Structure 1
Amino acid sequence: MQDTQWQFECVDHDRTIARAIVYDENGLFYFVRTERDDDFGKATLIETSGGGVEIGEDLQTAIKRELKGELGISVEIICKIRVVSDYYNLIHRHNINNYFLCKVKSLGEKNLTQYEVESFRLSTLKLTYEDAVQEYENRSNTRLGTLVAKRELPILQRAKK
């Protein structure tokens, strides 16, 4: 998926990412809300939980670690949904997003890094499918919000099926 928001100059690094569509027994979906003010501009976004895969770490371990850290939850991985390749031209990065469908097993404490707290002010959103779609559409009012929604709405729609 191409970045249509910033001009392409080059790609100087790849990032392998594990992300999840998370749901619970009540049919609610879990996301993170980020409030950013950085090189991408000022924006409040909805995004799936997840992050970079560490060296020597497999995707399933990475997604469990990320969900525990960002949302404070333990999950059962149901299946891998899809891989989405996208670009952030502004920072010259190619992202390889590995999406999983996960069901909440238990809730606990978040373990956010200082960087996540200070730079992104992460918080948890629990939404119905319809509210999640609306939130992505509402947050597409920024350049970064447009890129995130373009990447994640098709994955959410596929997970709903």
Structure 2
Amino acid sequence: MNKQELKLHLQDTQWPLTYIDHDRNIVRAIVIDEKQNFYFVRAKRNDDFGEATLIETSGGGVEASESLEAALKRELKEELGANVEIIDKIGVVDDYYNLIHRHNINNYYLCKAISFGEKHLTPDEINEFHLSTLKLSYDEALREYNRCANTRIGKLIAARELPILKQAKNLLDRKKNR
């Protein structure tokens, strides 16, 4: 168990705050394989947040009756086609999307991919976000987050996920050195 869970509280620096009318409980994962490749989703979107191509951790909303771990395994199966072993909880990042009046509670985990199979994407994930899978080294992922931070939504995602990615790498390095 990770005794140094990261806890971040971030504000939306890209859109003005008018009001927040809902919270969304979210699970997300840094997924690695046995060769230390990292798996993410690529989203290409053009919506209220603007036109953007993004890198993001796989994950999504927790349904009312689900545990965080069950939701995580479901989301990773849907978006990456991955069956995973949960290694550790990395931490919690709460942030805001002022544009859609939402407070996000992002629960991040480090997971090892056991196998990959068929994805089960929603119509919005296919048609609106054009989700695809990215397999990157740690350094490639850092560069990709920085490259995608050239849009307003990209800046918010990078602010949330770069500290998580770095914390995951620290966890992996500590486990390797034991």
Query: TM-score interval w.r.t. the shorter chain?
Result: over 0.9
Counterpart of 2:105 in structure 1: which amino acid?
A: I
Deviation string, structure 1 residues 75-117 (Cα, Å, up to 9, x no partner): 0000111010000000000000000000000110100011110
Which residue in the other structure is 1:125 paired with? 134
Moved over 6 A (4+): none
Please tell me whether residue 115 in structure 1 is matched to residue 145 in structure 2.
Answer: no
Counterpart of 2:75 in structure 1: which amino acid?
A: E
Which residue in the other structure is 1:11 paired with? 20
Please tell me whether residue 76 in structure 1 is matched to residue 99 in structure 2.
Answer: no
Please tell me whether residue 102 in structure 1 is matched to residue 111 in structure 2.
Answer: yes
| Aligned counterpart for 1:21 among listed residues 30, 42, 52 | 30
Q: How many residues align?
A: 161
Alpha-carbon distance in 2 for matches of 1:5, 1:99 = 23
Consecutive unaligned residues in structure 2, runs of 5 or more: 1-9, 171-178
Please tell me whether residue 54 in structure 1 is matched to residue 30 in structure 2.
Answer: no
Q: CA RMSD in A?
A: 0.4
Deviation string, structure 1 residues 41-82 (Cα, Å, up to 9, x no partner): 000000000000001100000000000000001000001110
Matched ranges for 1:30-45 at <5 A: 30-45=39-54
Alpha-carbon distance in 2 for matches of 1:120, 1:55 = 24
Which residue in the other structure is 2:73 paired with? 64
Which residue in the other structure is 2:162 paired with? 153
User: Scaled by the length of structure 2, what TM-score is found?
Assistant: 0.90
